Amino acid sequence: MANGTSNGPSRQEVRDAAPGVLRLAAGAWWRTASWTIETSVKVGSRAVGAAVAGESPAKTLDRAATDARGYARRLLGFSDDDDDPAGVDPGASEASRQQSLRDRGAELLRQSADVNYDEGAHPAYERILGSLAPDEGRILRFLATEGPQPVVDVRAGSPLIPGSSQLVAPGLSMIGAQAGSRYLERVPAYLNNLERLGLIWFSRESLEDPLRYQVLEAQPDVIAAKREGGRGRTVRRSIHLTPFGEDFCEICLPLDTVELDALPGVDVPAEEASTSSARAAPDPPDTDAAEVEEGGRRVAREHDSA
């Protein structure tokens, strides 16, 4: 107490507030009692119906428990959308979860038979977008606009001697640099994630144009790996978008350069920018390209002689 006054409510204020508090308490009691009676009747009715239908006692109890939890969630103000992402109550028994999954599967088949049902975009695309790094988006866009890309493995030893071939450096490519990735050292992890999501696949087949591999094999990291393996050789492979990945890129990513330029704070990869500027200005003497091409031919001769 300070200066003869109290910080708490006075007795008169308590008496004035008492009727409102009693009304709230009575209302809460009535809603709880109504819910208890309603839930008991509904759950009991379902249990009796299941027993008459010959359902096993364990399954009947599982259904009753699931119904009771659903009524309780609605009483507390939770919606059905607050369940786990799979749409199955995490507290349900295994039998109930299996039944819920089967019900969802049956709904999918019903929708597939409905000629008026329009699916739109694949339902997995939203989750996939949340599982991608920004650089992975650039790689996907690059594959969508430029097509399959060359990849090489560097191996040591002779392929003619069984058991002598050893992998020195797998999956070397120029995808990260050409796509404009910011973290080039993470490109192998990016590609693993994109494969995990079903967006790309690694083919054992090489591309038709050998010049693309000659340019790749002239890159410093490939040359260093071959030196590490002691006259190491390259095995030519390729990376492709899956049909699922192609559809994902078509729906979710801005593939047109003009559309990408319109986005705030987005830099177009240097390769695309140089292509756009080349359309407006004549080409200068391309001595660097000739040197790279000659280096590619030299590497190809070494590859053939090995």
Residues 272-302 have pLDDT tens digits of 554 444 444 444 444 444 554 555 555 455 5
Paired tokens of 304: 């053939």
Residues 153-174 have pLDDT tens digits of: 999 877 666 666 789 999 999 9
Q: How far apart are CA 23 and CA 30, in angstroms?
A: 10
- The answer to whether residues 140 and 246 touch, using CB atoms and an 8 Å cutoff, is no
Q: Tell me, what's the pLDDT at 79?
A: 47
Tokens 């640099």 found at: 177
Q: How far apart are CA 100 and CA 98, in angstroms?
A: 5
Average pLDDT on 223-234 reads: 87
Given a cut of 70, whether residue 269 has pLDDT beyond it is: no
- Which of 132, 300, 287 lies closest to 213 in space, CA to CA? 300
Q: Tell me, what's the pLDDT at 276?
A: 42
Q: How far apart are CA 224 and CA 169, in angstroms?
A: 10
Question: φ and ψ at 82, to 5 degrees?
Answer: -85, 0
- The domain segmentation of the chain, as residue ranges, is 21-109, 126-279+287-305
Measured in whole angstroms, how far is the alpha carbon of residue 300 from the centre of its chain?
38
Q: Tell me, what's the pLDDT at 280?
A: 41
Measured in whole angstroms, how far is the alpha carbon of residue 192 from the centre of its chain?
12
Average pLDDT on 206-230 reads: 93
Q: What DSSP designation does 265 have?
A: T
Average pLDDT on 6-23 reads: 65
What's the pLDDT band for 104 if we cut at 50, 70, 90? Answer: confident
More confident residue, 211 or 306: 211
Name 192's bridge partners: none
3-state secondary structure of 306: coil
Name 239's bridge partners: 149, 202
Q: Tell me, what's the pLDDT at 39?
A: 62
- Which of 113, 86, 123 lies closest to 247 in space, CA to CA? 123
Lowest mean pLDDT among 65-79, 106-120, 184-198: 65-79
Q: Outline where the chain has alpha helix (H).
A: 11-52, 57-75, 94-113, 125-129, 134-146, 175-179, 187-196, 210-217, 220-228, 243-252, 257-261, 270-280, 287-305
More confident residue, 245 or 11: 245
Q: Tell me, what's the pLDDT at 224?
A: 93
Fold of 126-279+287-305: Translation Initiation Factor IF3 (3.30.110)
